Amino acid sequence: MTHETPQRPAPATRESGRLVVLVSGTGSNLAALLAAHDDPAYGARVVAVIADRGNIRALDIAREAGIPTAVVSVKDFDDRAAWDAAVAETVAVFSPDLIVLAGFMKLFGATFLGRFGGRIVNTHPALLPSFPGAHGVRDALAYGVKVTGCTVMVVDEGIDTGPILAQATVAIEPDDDEATLHERIKAVEQPLLVEWVGRIARGGLRVEGRHAIVGRA
Ligand code: GRF
């Protein structure tokens, strides 16, 4: 496990919700959150970025923004349960109000969900419950649907099965391939994720059965 604390850490203000963002890839959703979080009216601030692998663009984006980072790799642990517990410990160091999975490509186990369940938000590049899993864009194209999109959801123990917060649609063009379609999905996914993370930070989140409700009761 590696930690980096930059010279100019970005502490949450007393009023802003503390976001810990987990990443595995290019970090475009992270970049969108970072573009929003300096505005005090947004109500949330990224206080740490944690990855399951090193050498990814998302970590560079975090470092460039002066955000503390950590890498917790599965390969450094005896088994997935030990990794799960280590990620939970690392996230807990930053006392998050909300955990955002922004292109994080691992499933959590009982330890992590037991500690943070109900305050983990994920984004998926398809209209759930269609095309869950690691290849939502490819699977939608292969199936031949004409409309796909993205889903922002609360994480539960399943694979992309948690209560849905918001969805946005994207039309599939005849000449789309996985890369072109994913780029257009990301263009709607980023503002949707930013909007709903902010809404939760400002208004709170509760889950009733299949329904994720944002706003104080
Ligand atoms: C997003 O489309 C996300 O839904 C999917 O992977 C992509 C991550 O993109 N799971 P980025 O790393 O935020 O650029």
Q: What is the pLDDT of residues 17-39, one digit of tens each?
A: 999 999 999 999 999 999 999 99
In testing the pocket of ligand 1, which one of 21, 22, 29, 52 has its CB within 8 Å of the most ligand atoms? 29
State the catalytic residue, choosing from 124, 135, 182, 211.
124
Measured in Å, residue 29 CA sits from the centre of ligand 1 at: 7
Q: What per-residue confidence (pLDDT) applies to 9?
A: 45
Neighbouring C-alpha atoms within 13 Å toward the C-beta of 6 = 18
Residue nearest to atom 5 of ligand 1 (CA): 103
27 assigned binding-site residue: yes
Neighbouring C-alpha atoms within 13 Å toward the C-beta of 28 = 13
Residue for token pair 């959590």:
108
Q: What per-residue confidence (pLDDT) applies to 111?
A: 95
The list of the chain residues with pLDDT below 50 reads 7-10
Q: Name the token pair of 44.
A: 């949330």
DSSP string for 121-182: EEEESS-TTSS-STTHHHHHHHHT-SEEEEEEEE--SSSS-SPEEEEEEEEPPTT--HHHHH
Q: What per-residue confidence (pLDDT) applies to 84?
A: 97
Ligand 1 pocket, Cβ-based, cut-off 6 angstroms: 25-30, 58, 102-103, 123-125, 186, 189
Looking from the CA of residue 23, the nearest atom of ligand 1 is 12
Measured in Å, residue 194 CA sits from the centre of ligand 1 at: 13
Q: How far apart are the first and last CA of the chain?
A: 39
The CA distance from 38 to 12, in Å, is 10
Parallel/antiparallel/unpaired status of strands 44-51 and 69-71: parallel
In testing the pocket of ligand 1, which one of 22, 28, 100 has its CB within 8 Å of the most ligand atoms? 28
Nearest Cα residue to 104 out of 59, 156, 51: 51
Residue nearest to atom 6 of ligand 1 (CA): 103
118 assigned binding-site residue: no
Q: What per-residue confidence (pLDDT) applies to 6?
A: 57
124 noted as active-site residue? yes
55 assigned binding-site residue: no
Question: For 34-67, how does the pLDDT look when each residue is reduced to its tens digit (9 = 90+)?
Answer: 999 999 999 999 999 999 999 999 999 999 999 9
Check residue 52 and give left, alpha or beta (phi > 0: left; psi -120 to 50: alpha): alpha
Looking from the CA of residue 150, the nearest atom of ligand 1 is 4
